[in-house]
Amino acid sequence: MRMIWMAAALSLLAGAAVADPVEGLWKTKPDDNGHYGHVEVKPCGSAYCGTLVRAFGAEGKEMASENIGKRIIWDMVPKGEGAYGDGKVWSPDRDKTYNSKLQLSGDGLAVKGCVLGICRDGGTWTRVK
């Protein structure tokens, strides 16, 4: 019986230890209007997705937004060494969906994407602590 409890405890600890570093809450770079948001990134199947959970105006105050609850990132596949790709990022300020890639470096997440041959640097998002 003691072995069963130890195995259960170890499996719980192992599950907590395997969380991918991209998981968490990220502050986006301000858009063309100076607005930014908090995007929660978590697993969705074998990839990662991110949903807008809070929106802020240019003055830094939280604001209402019809985009809260919408997916901003989807189908991001880990490529190794902090790189993620083969996914999409939706930019609410331009209402465009970009074929995108992410690069994680410490508490920064560089976002880049292209649509119809036009590429956009989404800047570096910062981890919200």
Q: Where are the domains of the chain?
A: 21-127
- Give per-residue pLDDT as tens, 9-52: 444 444 444 679 999 999 999 998 899 999 999 999 999 999 99
Q: Which residues pair with 55 in a beta bridge?
A: 37, 63
For residues 110 and 15, the model is more confident at: 110
Topology, domain 21-127:
Lipocalin (2.40.128)
Return the higher-pLDDT residue of 114 and 17.
114
Read off the pLDDT band of 98 (50, 70, 90): very high
pLDDT of residue 78: 97
> Quick one: pLDDT at residue 19?
76
